[in-house]
Amino acid sequence: MRAKILLILFLLLAGTAAYGQKITDSNYSTIAYIKSDGTVQNANYSTVGHIYLDGTVKNANYQTIGYIKSDGTVQNSNYSTIGHIKSDGTVQNANYSTIGHVKDGRIQDANYRTIAHYDGIKAKWVAFLVFFW
């Protein structure tokens, strides 16, 4: 349940419908959008964060809240490892326990139940949201 809540909260940081890059819940209701510049908006188009190509994630006030390294390691703003995103879309916590899966447009919990969908967004960006929202 905690992983699902974290995942959904993380998804609330995604971009704009104008680019077709959106995240929907399991019933396909829009949760969030991610614009092509990495701006994350909620379903009401309010900016809630920013994701940068170098892996830096910032909140709406441009304060750094985390990082995703090229090897899939996820760190908080203090550079402490809080999780891992594997190349196959498996999302793990800091202890390498699987908490979810992000692949082929689906966001799933650890038991492969689909809890959300994404379209036109990098899977790593979607997976990274699991740790911050």
Would you state the pLDDT for residue 95?
A: 95
Would you state the pLDDT for residue 111?
A: 94
d(CA 72, CA 119): 21
Would you state the pLDDT for residue 10?
A: 43
Tokens of 131: 């740790």
Would you state the pLDDT for residue 11?
A: 41
Residue ranges of domains in the chain? 2-132
pLDDT along the chain (133 residues), means of 10: 41 36 87 83 89 86 89 90 88 92 88 86 64 56
Would you state the pLDDT for residue 131?
A: 58
Would you state the pLDDT for residue 115?
A: 87
State residue 100 phi and psi, 5-degree precision: 175, 180
CATH of domain 2-132: 2.40.160
Give the max Cα distance, the chain.
38
User: Helix 2-11 crosses helix 123-132 at what angle (to 10 degrees)?
Assistant: 120
Would you state the pLDDT for residue 124?
A: 65
